Chain A
Amino acid sequence: MFLVDDHEIVRRGVADLLDGEPAITIVGEASSVAEASIRIPATEPDVAVLDVRLPDGSGVELCRDLRSRLPRLRCLMLTSFADDEALFDAVMAGAAGFVLKQVLGADLVSAVLRVGAGESLIDARTTAALIARIRRDRERRDPLGALSDQEKVVLELVGQGLTNRQIAERMFLAEKTVKNYVSHLLAKLGMQRRTQAAVLAAELHEQERQV
């Protein structure tokens, strides 16, 4: 494997850790995109461990460039924090793995071995960020996705211009309960005023009518 990180202390730590694993041989190190672009093709490693941020460019762009020149090379991205957009770029660049530097230890050995064997992986914190992002994407596509069934009914009635008292009578609820539903649905929709919710309900009706 080949290691690219601009911090010598990180390279030393990773090298010491991986040196103890008989299945892994470190064939070279680099501290910049420019250096890695020359040395990796010359040493032909199976796996390149790349820091996402390098002083003269992006590890993700380095991954993309190396993969276009060396299609059999497997890239494992190392990053300091769970950055879901960096993960997106890394996967699009053909990276096989994405792990936080904090996993240094047995988990990093296991990650290098897995990527070397052709497998792909994402560490725990980045997976959590990925799932949270998927949830946010879904909620953005469906603006009412975060509302409960009762809150959707209340929103529909707010959109018809009914007061809390009228909604309470229609739904056989206490007026205070309806007030709570309205507060909750406004908070979930990121709105401050009842009229904003009414406009949203009207817009959604218009969209449904046009479909």
Chain B
Amino acid sequence: MELRAAAERGESPPDRRGRVELDFEQLLLALCSQANGDVHLDLAELDGVELAEVVVLMRACDNLAPEHRLVLHNAPESVRRLVALFEVTPGPLLI
């Protein structure tokens, strides 16, 4: 992953026009891949969620080391239902 490699080098990858391309999905994955422990996200102010965004959260779980968890605080009921559909082990911890 270009962005992940760039993050490990402490820099942002330029796009073809030479400026930084902000891809926030990759950013979340990079945050998890460079974590040395659990990653906590507070969903208290989430304004609705779509399946595609829950898929991104599940992919973020895959980028964590096996001993670490994605911890979702204040997850709304819609997120809880969608996360349950995936039956991923270990999936995010909902608290």
Chain A residues proximal to chain B, CB less than 8 Å: 64, 67-68, 84-85, 87-89, 91-94, 96, 114, 117-125, 127-128, 130-135, 137-138
Contact = CB atoms under 8 A, between A and B. Distances in A.
28 contacts: A84-B24, A85-B22, A88-B22, A89-B12, A91-B30, A92-B11, A114-B38, A119-B40, A120-B37, A121-B39, A122-B31, A122-B40, A122-B42, A123-B42, A124-B42, A124-B44, A124-B73, A127-B41, A127-B42, A127-B46, A130-B28, A133-B22, A133-B24, A134-B24, A134-B28, A134-B56, A137-B22, A137-B23
Given A88-B24, A93-B10, A135-B53, 13 more contacts: A67-B10, A92-B6, A92-B10, A92-B11, A92-B12, A96-B35, A121-B42, A122-B41, A125-B45, A127-B41, A130-B27, A131-B49, A134-B25
A94 B53 contact: no
Nearest to B40: A121
Of the four ranges (under 10, 10 to 19, 20 to 34, 35 or more), the interface on chain B belongs to 35 or more
B78 interface: no
Contacts of B42: 121-124, 127
Contacts of A118: 36-37
Given A114-B40, A119-B39, A122-B41, A137 B10 contact: no
Contacts of A121: 39-42
Nearest to B32: A120
Contacts of B37: 114, 117-120
Given A67-B10, A135-B53, A127 B43 contact: yes
B41 A135 contact: no
A121 B25 CA distance: 16
B52 interface: yes
A124 B74 contact: yes
Name, among A120, A121, A132, the residue most crowded by chain B CB atoms within 10 Å (CB to CB).
A120
B6 A127 contact: no
A16 B30 CA distance: 34
Contacts of A125: 45
A114 B56 CA distance: 23
Interface string B12-29: 100000000011110110
Contacts of B39: 119-121
B87 to A, nearest CB: 22
Contacts of A64: 10
Contacts of A94: 7, 10, 34
Contact of A124 (B12, B25, B34, B45): B45
A119 B35 contact: yes
Contacts of B74: 124
A124 B43 contact: yes
A124 B12 CA distance: 25
Nearest to A119: B37
Contacts of B40: 114, 119-122
